[in-house]
Each structure stands twice: as C-alpha cells, then as structure tokens.
C-alpha cells in the first residue's frame, strides 16, 4: 500500500506542478516542442544529437523570457526575476521533451522496417544520407539474407559504397560492412 500512496502522491505533485506553472507554460512547451522539431530536421540537421538534447531547455527559457518581458512590458523584469525565468524555462523544456517522447512513442508512425532492417539502419546512419537510410537498410538486409555464397560483406560494402556520403572512405565502408555482417550473425545466433 505504501508504494501505491507514493505513486499517487507523485501524480498529485505532477498535477500540482502544472497548475502552479499555468497554461502559459503548457502552451509555450508546445511551441518549444514544435520549434525544436522543425529546427532539428532543417537548419540543425547535421548537429550532434547530444547537443540537440539541450535545445528544448534553451528555447523554453528564451521563449519564456520573451513572454515574461512582453507580459510585464519590461526588460528590467528579466534581470530582477532571472531565477523565475530560468525555473519556468526549465519547466517548459521538460514539458516539451515529455511531449516529444509521447509523440515518438504513441503518435508517430513506426517505420516499415523489420528488426534486422532497423539494426542495419542504425549501423549505417551517418554513413548514408538520412533520406536514403531506410532504402539502403532494406536493400543491404535483403542482399545479405539472400546471399548463399558467403559474400555478404562484399555485397553489403558495394550497396553502401553506391549510396555513401562523399566524405566516407572506402576503408570505413569495408569496416562497416564487416560490422553489419558480424552483428547480423550474432542476432541470428540468439
């Protein structure tokens, strides 16, 4: 029973947090999530994913600072209440991140890739342009699964080489092809 009370208390605390911050924070979180996603797929396409993790918090804080300055008609308000601005900005970033995770898990359509194709897709990401990752993953997987000669690594290498980004070396592709073959071999051993 103690665990259940803890869960309920936590849920109540979550609801209390949102009522404390208000609807404005929720709306700014939605705007932050949308802005972050748009920038991820356009301007910031080539930025490391580790850096992109901080975008919702940065944009949340900036959007709340603009909102607070406009609401209070004072830029001085930002300097006097910087702790409140940061607190609300982090709340917006957290909620925007939560909205993104919910979208990814429950709303966004999953790719039509099999488990093997998803593994290959994850391995070739960064070597092949983002637009072609799924197509190349499907063709690499199909070629390897149909290969009866034992030349799967060579077939894999050729397919990736045909679709690789310009700055990828042949040696990198050879190593990647071997990694793919080894990974798929270990998957089938399970």
CA distance 2 to 122: 42
pLDDT of residue 189: 43
pLDDT of residue 62: 96
Which tens digits make up the pLDDT trace of 64-103?
A: 999 999 999 988 999 999 999 999 998 898 888 888 888 8
pLDDT of residue 35: 94
Query: 90 and 102 in contact (C-beta within 8 Å)?
Result: no
pLDDT of residue 190: 43
Confidence of residue 32 (pLDDT cuts 50, 70, 90): very high
pLDDT of residue 60: 94
Q: What's the predicted TM-score (pTM) here?
A: 0.54
pLDDT of residue 11: 64
In three-state form (DSSP H/G/I as H, E/B as E, the rest C), the secondary structure along 29-59 is HHHHHHHHHHHHHCCCCCCCHHHHCCHHHHH
Please report, for the chain, the start and end positions of each structural domain, with discontinuous segments joined by +. Answer: 2-107, 115-185
């Amino acid at each position: 029973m103690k665990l259940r009370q803890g869960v309920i208390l936590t849920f109540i605390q979550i609801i209390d947090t949102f009522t404390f911050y208000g609807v404005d924070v929720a709306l700014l979180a939605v705007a932050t999530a949308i802005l972050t996603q748009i920038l991820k797929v356009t301007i910031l396409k080539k930025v490391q994913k580790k850096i992109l993790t901080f975008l919702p918090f940065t944009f949340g804080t900036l959007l709340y600072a603009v909102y607070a300055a406009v609401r209070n008609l004072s830029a001085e308000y930002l300097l006097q209440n910087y702790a409140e601005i940061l607190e609300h900005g982090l709340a917006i970033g957290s909620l925007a991140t939560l909205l993104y995770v919910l979208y990814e898990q429950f709303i966004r359509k999953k790719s039509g890739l099999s488990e093997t194709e998803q593994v290959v897709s994850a391995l070739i990401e960064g070597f092949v342009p983002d637009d072609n990752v799924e197509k190349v993953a499907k063709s690499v997987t199909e070629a390897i699964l149909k290969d009866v000669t034992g030349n799967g690594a060579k077939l894999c290498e050729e397919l990736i080489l045909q679709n690789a980004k310009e700055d990828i070396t042949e040696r990198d592709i050879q190593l990647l092809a071997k990694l793919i073959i080894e990974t798929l071999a270990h998957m089938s051993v399970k």
